């Protein structure tokens, strides 16, 4: 069971490194997109759960959520970037912004993949380590309901346009 | 567990490699000298270092007690004797802190360089090796020079149990679990994120105007 959480921690750390390289102004744009994506997913699962459950199994819902998150993250990093205002690159802010994105992306992916039974991979959930159990409770979708996510996204957009 | 150590090794080496590349050769050389110097000292003189740290701890406690000697005998040593793993961690922490402070000086800043990347990877290897020796000696399969033999690893095996305040490590998971289950958890994290974004954006804007 060990490598599962270690893999996600490694992804999280790599996002931090990517943050240092790209700079916090670009990273905060990705943060905004991730918050909006999570808001959409959480809002749909909260308000339209009955309809979604009729259409899809829980596993398929989680797989689609993971796919949506991966595609949106890829587009946010690769496509037109919602850069925040400011001058210069503060490495500490860049690292923190990268880690925040890593938490939102890797944490949410962990959440949805674990709900999809890890896509059938032979992972023994019964013998989960205490680290896994602790981190599992701190994942973004486990903590934030959609009102928090939309509120944070609005705060991000206000910061984006605030002169 | 071997896979876990290897993933940790790759991640830490990658992080140190990128940081080394960005900071350049001069900062990389300084960091390498400090980290490897600390490891050499910890490998060769672990007993003496433990004695110095414990002595300094005793001296500070003595001063804080206003020169009273009563009760000093009951003070537990910061580094238990025969715990090279703990000494290694202390030296590693000191080296990293010192290199962080020094690298903020203007004279150590440089342009990104390939040599910096190589030095960063080397430092990442040393840091991972030292962390594994100090925290989980039974998993210490990474080859390390300067006296970190198997006997060192075996001696360090008993170290974490003897650490003062080691029950702290058992309390941390409980504290985090309680915090995660608390209704105020999302509020605290959301406010932290919003505060960070505010500070980052406003600081950046101020730089633009200035």
Per residue in A89-130, pLDDT (tens digit) is 788 888 889 999 999 999 999 999 988 888 877 777 777 777
Question: Cβ of A24 and B204 within 8 Å?
Answer: yes
Question: B123: closest CA among B5, B15, B7, B3?
Answer: B15
Task: State residue A98's pLDDT score.
Answer: 92
First to last CA, chain B: 52
Return the number of other C-beta atoms located less than 10 Å from residue B127's C-beta. 20
Q: How far is CA A114 from CA A5, A35, B177, in A?
A: 11, 20, 19
**Chain B interface test: which of A10, A19, A23, A111 (most B C-beta within 10 Å):** A10
Return the number of other C-beta atoms located less than 10 Å from residue B65's C-beta. 13
Enumerate residues 6+ apart whose C-beta is below 8 A from A82. A29, A30, A32, A33, A76, A160
Tell whether B190 is within 8 A of chain A (Cβ): yes
* H helix runs in chain A, sequence order: 2-22, 24-47, 49-55, 58-78, 91-115, 130-137, 140-143, 146-161
Output the average pLDDT for chain B. 75
Tokens of A153: 């996204």
Q: Is the pLDDT of residue B138 over 80?
A: no
Split at pLDDT 50, 70, 90, the class of B169 is low
Question: A62: closest CA among A104, A11, A114?
Answer: A114
Rounded-to-integer distance, Cα B65 and Cα B57, Å: 12
Task: State residue B145's pLDDT score.
Answer: 66
Q: Is the pLDDT of residue B158 over 50?
A: no
Residues A50-59 have pLDDT tens digits of: 888 888 888 8
Q: What ipTM was estimated for this complex?
A: 0.86
Residues A6-16 have pLDDT tens digits of: 888 889 989 99
Q: How far is B178 from chain A (nearest CA, A)?
A: 10
Q: How far is B205 from chain A (nearest CA, A)?
A: 5
Output the average pLDDT for chain A. 87
Enumerate residues 6+ apart whose C-beta is below 8 A from A20. A91, A94, A95, A98, B18, B19, B22
Residue A85 · residue B203 · CB < 8 Å = no
Q: How far is CA A149 from CA A127, B162, B186, in A?
A: 32, 44, 10
Chain B residues whose beta carbon lies within 8 Å of the beta carbon of residue A2:
1, 3-4
Residue A106 · residue A19 · CB < 8 Å = no
Does the predicted model carry a pTM greater than 0.90?
no
Tokens of B178: 């309680």
């Amino acid at each position: 069971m060990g490598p599962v959480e270690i893999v996600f921690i490694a992804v999280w750390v790599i996002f931090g490194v990517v943050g240092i390289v790209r700079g916090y102004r670009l990273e905060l744009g990705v943060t905004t997109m991730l918050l909006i994506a999570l808001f959409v997913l959480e809002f749909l699962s909260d308000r339209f759960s009955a309809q979604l459950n009729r259409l899809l199994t829980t596993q398929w819902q989680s797989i689609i959520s993971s796919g949506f998150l991966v595609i949106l993250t890829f587009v946010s990093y690769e496509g037109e970037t919602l850069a925040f205002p400011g001058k210069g690159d503060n490495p500490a802010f860049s690292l923190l912004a990268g880690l925040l994105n890593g938490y939102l992306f890797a944490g949410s992916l962990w959440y949805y993949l674990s709900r999809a039974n890890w896509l059938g991979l032979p992972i023994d959930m019964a013998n989960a380590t205490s680290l896994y159990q602790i981190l599992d409770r701190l994942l973004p979708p486990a903590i934030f309901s959609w009102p928090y996510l939309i509120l944070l996204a609005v705060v991000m957009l206000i910061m984006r346009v605030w002169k | 567990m071997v896979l876990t150590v290897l993933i940790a090794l790759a991640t830490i080496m990658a992080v140190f490699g990128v940081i080394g590349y960005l900071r350049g050769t001069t900062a990389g050389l300084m960091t390498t000298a400090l980290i490897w110097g600390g490891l050499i000292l910890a490998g060769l003189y672990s007993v003496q270092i433990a004695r110095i740290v414990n002595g300094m701890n005793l001296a500070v406690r003595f001063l804080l007690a206003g020169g009273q000697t009563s009760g000093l005998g009951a003070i537990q040593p910061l580094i238990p004797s025969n715990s090279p793993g703990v000494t290694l961690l202390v030296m590693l922490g000191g080296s990293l802190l010192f290199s962080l402070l020094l690298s903020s000086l203007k004279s150590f800043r440089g342009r990104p360089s390939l040599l910096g990347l190589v030095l960063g990877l080397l430092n990442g290897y040393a840091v991972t090796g030292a962390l594994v020796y100090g925290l989980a000696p039974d998993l210490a399969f990474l080859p390390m020079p300067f006296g970190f033999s198997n006997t060192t690893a075996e001696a360090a095996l008993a170290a974490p149990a003897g650490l003062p305040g080691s029950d702290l490590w058992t309390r941390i998971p409980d504290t985090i679990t309680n915090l995660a289950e608390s209704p105020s958890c999302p509020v605290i994290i959301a406010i932290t994120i919003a505060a960070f974004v505010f500070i980052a954006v406003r600081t950046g804007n101020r730089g633009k105007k200035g």
